[in-house]
Amino acid sequence: MTNHVVQFSGGLGSFGAALAVAKKHGTQNMTLLIADTGIEDPDLWRFADDTSRLLGVPLTKVADGRTPWDVFRDKRFLGNDRITPCTTWLKQKPCRKWMKEHAPVGDSTVYIGIEKSTLDRRRIPAIARNWKPWRVQFPLCGKWLPELTKESSKAQLMDLARWYGIEPPRLYALGFEHNNCGGTCVRAGQKQWKRTLDVLPERFAEAERQEAGLRELLGDVTILRQRRQGVAYPLPLSELRRQHLAAVKPPTQES
């Protein structure tokens, strides 16, 4: 009897992976394993609960108990687009701990919702390496869900979720690529952070406050960098806010 463990992030990719596994193997031995980082958008949990109800599989939640900001403080390192101790401590380690306790290597397969796009597929070898010694499969990159015909399957996954009566997570409609860490993922670039400032200003303000606290503790560290004449400089969120607000022209009386 194989345990089918879907790494369910609360995003559309992992929704598709869960659906594909349910269609191929049924849901009897399925686990929806989800790590709580403490700063997810509340709507992620609504989507996760809806998916759980649809499949009849309860969510298996693991949590370190800290937020990414707590981890950065504890590890004295502010995460960025290259190095993310938050993922290691809040997602990988708690999930692997659960796997060690509940999913024997020889009888368990891990499923990851990596999408078909070339950019996403590049991540497959590193993900498979990280999950060793468990067997890992990527259902969306195969033909498990023939409904997904396009390389970029986000829109199709949204349609699929709606077809099953589930509204996709609201962060996508707000213009975010991923439904993770409430729109304040340290891996995101300037474009997404500007989006956070525009549509979730309180969350941006909290991230700005957290970054400022870490800068007091650690020195001139930042989540983002800015390039000038090919040279990279730290770009604090407070400065990104200033630049972005200065660039947004106030409406004139004529417009």
Binding site for ligand SF4 (CB under 6 A): 37, 68, 79, 84, 86-87, 90-91, 180-181, 185-187
Provide the 3-class DSSP secondary structure of residue 36: strand
Residue 90 C-beta: closest distance to ligand SF4, Å = 5
Amino acid (one-letter) located at 133: P
Judged by CB, which is closer to ligand SF4: 135, or 187? 187
Q: What's the CA angle centered on 95, arms 184 and 107, to 5 degrees? A: 145
Is the Cβ of residue 134 or residue 176 nearer to ligand SF4 in the bound state? 176
- Nearer to ligand SF4 (CB atom), residue 14 or residue 180: 180
Q: Closest CB to ligand SF4 among 66 and 215?
A: 66
**Closest by Cα among 65, 66, 48 to 57:** 48
- Smallest distance from ligand SF4 to CB 156, Å: 23
Please, what is the minimum distance in Å from the beta carbon of residue 254 to ligand SF4? 42
CB of 164 to ligand SF4, least distance (A): 25
What is the residue type of 158?
M
Provide the minimum distance between the beta carbon of 103 and ligand SF4 in the complex, in angstroms, as a whole number: 22
Token code pair at residue 246: 């200065």
When the beta carbons of 27 and 45 are compared against ligand SF4, the nearer one is 45
CB crowding 4-39: b at 16 or more within 10 Å, else e: bbbbbbbbbbbbbbbbbbbeeeebebbbbbbbbbbb
DSSP result, 152-221: S-HHHHHHHHHHTT-PPPHHHHTT-S---GGG--TT--HHHHHHHHHH-HHHHHHHHHHHHHHHHHHSS-
